[in-house]
Each structure stands twice: as structure tokens, then as C-alpha cells.
Chain A
Amino acid sequence: MQKFLSHSQFQTEEIAERLAKTLHGTEVIAMFGGMGAGKTAFTRGLARGLGINDGVSSPTFALVHEYEGRFPLYHFDMYRIGSYDDLYSTGFFDYIENGVMLIEWSENIEPFLPENRISITINVLSEQEREITMEGAAEI
């Protein structure tokens, strides 16, 4: 387990960018952390680390956004997913092992996350500060 203290959105992005450099292309990255924790900033950094320069936005309505970088990146938002059927019908299981999957609101699908995954928990310490915990990731 690795812990990081971020003092700004910019630092959060930088930490994610470093994580991106360690990826091999089929990782499932589950993010935990409420509204405003910095999940989108983290995603932006990770995408940049994979060589993706398109604007990254939360797929709240589309459920999944796809980006082409060093590896394909599938960015999921599980905020509106409430049942196995919901999850199945996003095609979630079809994406596994076909690219890097980055999942916002992993809380909602926890029983169905693969065991072999990277978990990112972002805790809000103050308006600017965040504690970022990574489990299952390579040393960054």
C-alpha cells in the first residue's frame, strides 16, 4: 500500500501520471472517493501519462468514455449503476482485459470488481489537501 499527500489538483494529476507510467495495459483501476474528491483530476493525470491529450470529462451520462493512448483507456462512471443488470448492460465485463479500465464510483459495484485490481482511495483532508491511497499498484 502506498500513501501520498496531495496539496493541489495539480499534484493529484502528477501522482496519477506517475501511476500511468507503471501500467502494462490491462489493469482495472477502481477509484473510491466522494463528490469533489478529485477523481476527475486523477483521471486527467492518468490519461496524460498514457499519452492521451484529449479533454477528459466524467462519463456520468455516457457511463463510459473511450480514449486511445499508449493503451486504450476505458473511463467508467458507476454513479448511476445500482444492480448487476445495470452493470452487465454497460458492457463492463466485455471491457475487462482489453485495455486499462478506470472506474469512478467503484463503491457501487464493489462485489463485482475483479480481485486483481488497483484500488485508489482519495480522502479529503481540507479544501486543497487530499490523502491518496493506492493498493495493488507498482511502486511509483
Chain B
Amino acid sequence: MKILAIDTSASPVSAAILHDGVLDGEFFLNTKTTHSQTLMPIIEALLKTTETALSDIDVFAVNAGPGSFTGVRIGTATVKGLSLPDNKPCAAVSTLAAMAYGMPYQSGIICAVMDARCMQVYHALFRLKDGSVERLTEDKALSVEELSSELCAYSEETVYLAGDGAELCYRTFGSQHPNVVLTPQNIRFQRSYGTAKAAEKMAAENRLCCSDELMPIYLRLPQAERELKARLNQNP
């Protein structure tokens, strides 16, 4: 089985081809150029250099969210388009799960966190054990403070912080949790390899969808309920 996986959920962009569980190739860019300009050239170059025809791809996978509003739309729209002509199955991978699948090299808890601004994060917990990934909590949006209290339940295990919210969390509550570790830069962020690995598991569990059904995943922040409108400034 060949999986083409892409990630555009935050500022970097990446694409990978996983062939029967083995990584054939992966491209990663972290420049300021927008994904709409870099993603297609990366996919094209990846297919070309790995000598893969688009028709050889069995599953198209994407980090469908949570993540940046525009990024998630670019990723899902691209996969929708690529999978549509031959009616190939798609995997709507959670960005947070992709992080956990990107690093199951030791035992412990992966706390995947993405910065949602204003001291709020998108987050989920996973347990890594013997090279497998077990999801412990659903993807959700919550405040950094709430996450800190949630982690108290795991004080007996090592908790690895991953994602672009990891540093923020570590700075905010790291000193209160001696078991919490900030993962090093080179493995901290979501990458298409993890997306492909997560998609492989989804395929085995029959959790793929068709092009039509693939949708961005947006999580609502608790703060979203609150109206923003401040009183307008005085001036007549």
C-alpha cells in the first residue's frame, strides 16, 4: 500500500510517501512562502524523484486539523482534488495524532499541543508503548492552565510535550510538573511522515473516507462563545 501524506496545518509544509510502512521519501519546507505556492511543487517533485505515478497512490492522507485556518483548507482541498479523479480513499488525520505517530520511539505520554493564541491550545494525549500509539483523550481546545491540571493525573509517567504550543506550555507550567519534558526541536513538530503512519492505522481500522466526505476539522475554543465587541471609542 502506498500512502501520499501531506501536512500544511501550521507554518511548515511537508509531503511524504509511505510504501508498506516504509518511508520512500519526504519533503519538508519551513519558509515564509505560502502553502498554496509550495505544496504542489513539493508533491510533484516527490512523485517524480521517488518514481511514483499518482495512480500508484492507494490512500491520500492529510492533517485535516486542528491548525491554521488557511493551512488546513489548503491541505484538505488539495487531497480532495488529488483523490477525486480515481475515487481513491482519503484519511482525515488529526494533526495531534500525526505528532504522536511521528515519534513512537520510546515509552511515555505524548502531550500534543498547538498554540491557538491567547493562552489557549489544541491538545490531545497519547500513550506510546512498544512502538505503538494509544489515544488517551479526544482532540480538544482548552486553556494552558486547564491542560496543566489535566496533566496532574499522569504524574507517575514521563510526559513529552510536542507541537508548536509545547514551548509555551513548558514555560508556563513546566516547573510545576517535574515529569514533563520538552521534546527537541527536530522531532517536536508535526510532519507528513507521522500523518502517513496515522493514516496506515486508520486504513487498517477501516476509518478512511471518500473525497466528498473529507472536511477540515476545526475545534471551537471555549473563548469563542464570548462576544468580542468592545464598546466603540467615544467619538461622535
- A and B, one complex? yes
Q: Residues of A with Cβ closer than 8 Å to B?
A: 32-35, 37, 81-85, 87-91, 93-94, 98, 107-112, 121, 123-124
Q: Inside 8 A of B70's CB, which chain A residues have their CB?
A: 91, 94
Complex: A108 Cα to B233 Cα, angstroms: 10
Complex: A84 Cα to B68 Cα, angstroms: 14
Residue pair B224, A124 in contact (C-beta under 8 Å): no
Known: A93-B68, A93-B117. 11 other contacts (CB 8 A): A33-B233, A33-B235, A34-B236, A83-B224, A85-B224, A94-B70, A94-B71, A107-B230, A108-B229, A108-B230, A124-B236
Judge whether B118 is part of the interface by a CB distance below 8 angstroms.
Answer: yes
Report how many A-B pairs have Cβ atoms within 8 Å. Answer: 63
Residue among B223, B228, B236 with max Cβ neighbours from chain A (10 Å): B228
- Would you mind naming 23 contact pairs between A and B with Cβ atoms under 8 Å apart? A32-B233, A33-B235, A34-B232, A34-B234, A34-B236, A37-B235, A82-B227, A82-B228, A82-B229, A85-B220, A85-B224, A88-B69, A91-B68, A91-B69, A91-B70, A93-B69, A107-B229, A107-B231, A108-B230, A109-B228, A110-B228, A112-B118, A124-B236
Q: Inside 8 A of A89's CB, which chain B residues have their CB?
A: 69
Q: Is the interface of B mostly helix, strand, loop or mixed?
A: loop
Complex: A93 Cα to B221 Cα, angstroms: 14
Judge whether B32 is part of the interface by a CB distance below 8 angstroms.
Answer: yes
Given A82-B227, A82-B228, A83-B227: A112 touches B71 (CB 8 Å cut-off)? no
Q: Residues of B with Cβ closer than 8 Å to A?
A: 32, 68-71, 117-118, 218, 220-221, 223-224, 226-236
Q: Inside 8 A of A107's CB, which chain B residues have their CB?
A: 229-233
Q: Is the interface of A mostly helix, strand, loop or mixed?
A: mixed
Q: Inside 8 A of B118's CB, which chain A residues have their CB?
A: 111-112
Whole-angstrom distance from the CB of A38 to the nearest CB of chain B?
Answer: 11
Whole-angstrom distance from the CB of A116 to the nearest CB of chain B?
Answer: 13
Residue pair B228, A84 in contact (C-beta under 8 Å): yes
User: Out of B69, B117, B229, B235, which one reaches A112, CB within 8 Å?
Assistant: B117
